[in-house]
Amino acid sequence: MDAKNLIACRVAQELEDGNVVNLGIGLPTLIPNYLPEGVNITLQSENGFLGLGPLVGEPLPYLVNAGGIPCGMVPGTAFFDSAMSFAIIRGGHVDLTVLGGLEVDQEGNLANWMVPGKMVPGMGGAMDLVTGAKRVIVAMEHATKTGGAKILKRCTLPLTAAAKVTAIATELAFFRFIKGQLTLTEIAPGVTLEEIRAKTEAEFVVSPDCREMQLPNCSQQ
């Protein structure tokens, strides 16, 4: 299993039955493939609907997710304008958002929308989601393509939001922010603590209950 699917599988375990969830573009869209049995969620999209589902058959014109990718809908789907969509987000009605990240730091700050001098997708609804959702999980590969750290002492890129991240999932580890402290709670199979330390610039503590990451649904995909 590749890194992105492993991360998606682990994050899927954080979703609870009945949750309203907003998934960012890219890696987070893989998460519904790994939902535990009996867990049903409602997906919300910033571009104006509640009830995203898998694409079945030919795509319908203009039925796309917030990333512009054709998608489907489930029975009971509701469509609305952007004002209502962002009222749902800003009003605290999204239980969980899962976003990709360019950088996260040990203070819970997230940078995921801009690299100076480069073309990237942009902010979208990320700033509203990070500040409005009840929980924020960053799902990203542990290091850059050149091997540089992405979990830092302090973000160097422009921030999306400050001190709002509640957990970080990578292909190497799972971290939670516990009482404001970046805490390692799980280590992926075949990975050592020394490897995680070597690839993480941020200072973190190891939970006394730290365990091997459990991935019960991954082998099914």
Percent of the chain with pLDDT over 90: 73
pLDDT of residue 199: 98
Give catalytic residue positions.
46
> Using one digit for the tens of pLDDT, what is the confidence trace for 107-122?
999 999 887 777 666 6
The answer, yes or no, to whether residue 180 has pLDDT greater than 70, is: yes
Q: What are phi and psi of 54, to 5 degrees?
A: -70, 150
Question: How many alpha carbons fall within 13 Å on the CB side of residue 32?
Answer: 20
DSSP string of 137-150, one letter each residue: EEE--SB-TTS-BS
pTM, two decimal places: 0.93
CATH 3.20.20.70 fits 3-220, yes or no: no
Counted residue by residue, the chain has a size of 221
From the number of C-beta atoms within 10 Å of its C-beta (0-12, 13-18, 19+), residue 190 rates as: exposed
Percent of the chain with pLDDT over 70: 96
DSSP H/E element including 187: strand 181-187
The CA–CA distances, whole Å, from 164 to 24, 122, 183 equal: 16, 19, 15
Domain ranges of the chain: 3-220
> Using one digit for the tens of pLDDT, what is the confidence trace for 20-76?
999 988 899 889 889 888 999 999 998 899 999 888 889 988 898 887 889 889 999
